[in-house]
Structures are given as structure tokens and as C-alpha cells.
Amino acid sequence: MSATAPDPRPLTGEPLALDLLNTRWLREGAVQDLLRDTDGLAVWLAANGLDGRFPADAATLRHTLRARDALGAAVDGPADGTAGGTADGTAGGTADIAGVDTVLGHGRIRPTLTAEGPGERAEFRDEAWGPGWLAARNYLELLSAAPDRIRRCAHEACVLHFFDSSRNGTRRWCSMAACGNRAKASRHYARAKDA
């Protein structure tokens, strides 16, 4: 297997659905996109342990981007900027969730019996839908676990998402080092200006 390039993203390690959204981020106001090409797809698949299972080809990239658009609409509302999700953090309207439901239609869970006992396996008519489907299914798991902990970074100039696994559920930033301190610095600046 050829070595993949290092993962350039500022935030990694979130659950698969949110890690897919985190393939887009802002650097000095410009949108960066790891899934611009199949090389970037290879990096993303490897980061999520999916590289042995799915090829980083053009069809997989196309379907994975469709899944990313669908998840983005469900989590943040439609791309036209109007608000989608409700203030309490639950999923948006039916138009916003239809895309994820469509992606889910491209795969299914097959129950299995193995030597180790009961199991299940994801099956796809078209394997190119595999990574996007797994991300959509992971979104269902997050919704079942704690929909209010699916968050977007509170910094207005940040598009990253995370699943808040802190004990008190008070995480607001993608990272304290990046956005948390930026917000603190601008509050400090505002106070200094008022004084």
C-alpha cells in the first residue's frame, strides 16, 4: 500500500459523520477542502480506517461528497445560509433530512451469525456509496445517543463540528487552543476598548 499524505485538517478524531463535515475548514477566511480530489479522499479514508475496505476512486469521491452535502444540510440547515436546525439543536426540517435518508437507501445492514456469535455487516449494491453511507449511519447513532451534543464550533468564523463528549456537556469550541483563545482575545479587546 502506498503511503498517504499527512492529514492537514485542524480537527480530526470526531465521529465519522462529523469527521466527514470536518473535511472543510477555513484558513484565513478561505475554504479549504480535503475532498477536492481522490488524493484527499485517500487521506480521509485512511484517517478513519476505511482505506483497506474502499478504494479512493472518482465514484467513491462523488458519492462521499453527496453524503457530505446531505449531512451538512441535516446538521446546519441548507447551504443557502437560512437556518436549518432548531435552537435546541435537534435536526432541521424534512427537506434538510431527506438527503441523508436518500444516502441511507444505498446500503443496508445484514444480520449475520458467526463463530463468535451474532453480528451484522453493512452491504452495498454499489461499494462506492460505502464511506458516505457509513457516515450517514453514524449520524443516526449520534442522534440516538445525544442529538444536543452534535455541535458546530461557537466561533462565527469556524465551520468545524464536534460531538461533545465532555462530562458536563459544555464544550463550545473545536479546540480551546484555536477558537477558544481567539474568542477570549476578542472579548478582552472589546473590554479594553470600552474601558
Q: Is 165 helix (H, G, I), strand (E, B) or coil?
A: coil
**Mask of contacts with Zn ion, 114-153, x by CB under 5 A?**
---------------------------------------x
Would residue 42 be called left, alpha or beta, if left means φ above 0 and alpha means ψ between -120 and 50 degrees?
alpha
Q: Alpha helix locations (H) across the chain?
A: 16-21, 38-47, 58-76, 94-104, 130-145, 181-194
Counting contacts by CB under 5 A, is residue 158 touching Zn ion?
Answer: yes
**Binding residues for Zn ion restricted to 175-194, rule: CB under 5 A:** 179
Q: Give the C-alpha distances (Å, rounded to integers) separating 20 from 84, 91, 113, 133, 140.
A: 19, 17, 31, 11, 14
Residue 46 CB, shortest distance to Zn ion, in Å, is 24
When the beta carbons of 95 and 176 are compared against Zn ion, the nearer one is 176
Distance CA 191, CA 118 (A): 60
When the beta carbons of 43 and 153 are compared against Zn ion, the nearer one is 153
Given the DSSP bridges, would you call strands 30-33 and 24-27 parallel, antiparallel or unpaired? antiparallel
Tell which residue, 72, 76, 88, has the closest CA to residue 169: 88
Binding Zn ion (rule: CB under 5 A), the pick from 155, 162, 171, 183 is 155
**Mask of contacts with Zn ion, 89-108, x by CB under 5 A?**
--------------------
The number of C-alpha atoms within 13 Å of 150 and in the hemisphere containing its C-beta is: 30
When the beta carbons of 29 and 117 are compared against Zn ion, the nearer one is 29
Residue 36 CB, shortest distance to Zn ion, in Å, is 21
Counting contacts by CB under 5 A, is residue 18 touching Zn ion?
Answer: no
Residue 108 CB, shortest distance to Zn ion, in Å, is 35
Q: Which residues bind Zn ion (CB under 5 A)?
A: 153, 155, 158, 160, 174, 179
